[in-house]
Amino acid sequence: MKECMDDASSGHIRENKKGRKTVYLCRHLIAGRSQVVQCEIDRMKPDDYDEAVKLHNRATKGLSCEIFVQTPEKDMRRLLGRGGISLGVWFDGRLICMRAIVTDGKWVDEILADMGFDADPARKTVYTDHCVVDKDFRGNNIQFLTHYEMENRIVDRYETFYTTVSPKNSFSLQNILGCNFVIVGLKELYSGNLRYILKKPLSRCIPIWTRGHLVIPIRDTKRQTTAIAEGYVGYKLIRRPRGFSVLYAPAGDNPPKGYWRNMAVSKQEEY
């Protein structure tokens, strides 16, 4: 992505007679009121460009590039056309959420190169550019709903998701990790802004040996980059008295050296 913006609550999806999927979400109103309303999820089209730009600008207004980098309008057209797949959520004809992924092979390769990864000659990789939600509808698990809806649409054609999240955007990081992405990189992107690089395989998933985890404060970038270089992945965000920490664990088909012995002797402390 360039990043995702949402937090969590609940929602339920079903398909309506028009072929669109209906979801009931909580809309936040003035004076502390809220109301459950009927919304619709569907794939967006090039004709939705103006709505997409308006929502994007509305949802990201006032955010610094340290938190969220806006998608250029030329890229928005590509995401709504042949360069990607975009899902929208509408309430009463108004766009209130957009999730967009990059599918164009050359574009994906450019993104992978920026992140320090090899190109994908098989063209089986996609990249989540952004997910934005109108402030009146945040807190509905829309990030989860739209991500898994997107997975259902692409799972037969693609094998790997990548995305990025700012370390300063704890809500989005928690949601992305909750969608079973893992942190596989931490570097400066988007003109020098620090970002986690996250990956989610849709085919072969490598085991994570969570009983060998490290607890690293989110502010300690040096220890995190060292852990990643040693084959650890970040799989969970936790809140501690001095702030957030990320749990990193070894990843691979075989347990790390001494794994079973350490479990038997120390009975790994609960975080």
pLDDT digits (tens, 9 = 90+) for 203-242: 888 899 998 899 999 999 999 999 999 999 999 999 998 8
Residues 78 and 175 in one domain: yes
Which of 204, 234, 262 finishes a domain?
Answer: 204
Give me the pLDDT at residue 18, please: 60
User: Residue 235 is part of which domain span?
Assistant: 206-271
Q: What pTM was computed for the model?
A: 0.88
Give me the pLDDT at residue 265, please: 52
Give me the pLDDT at residue 8, please: 40
In a domain, 27, yes or no: no
For 267, the token pair is 């009975």
Beta bridge partners of 98: 88, 132
Name the more confident of 19 and 267. Answer: 19
Contact 87, 146 (CB under 8 A): yes
- Percent of the chain whose predicted confidence (pLDDT) is above 70: 89
Which of 204, 227, 244 finishes a domain?
Answer: 204
How do residues 61-111 score in pLDDT, each as one tens digit? 888 888 998 999 999 999 999 999 999 999 999 999 999 999 999 999 999
Q: Identify the CA nearest to 163 among candidates 178, 144, 184, 145.
A: 184
How do residues 122-150 score in pLDDT, each as one tens digit? 999 999 999 999 999 998 989 999 999 99
Residues 120 and 81 in one domain: yes
Residue 189 to residue 111: CA distance in whole angstroms: 10
* Residue 245 backbone phi and psi in degrees, to 5: -130, 155
Residue 211 to residue 47: CA distance in whole angstroms: 50
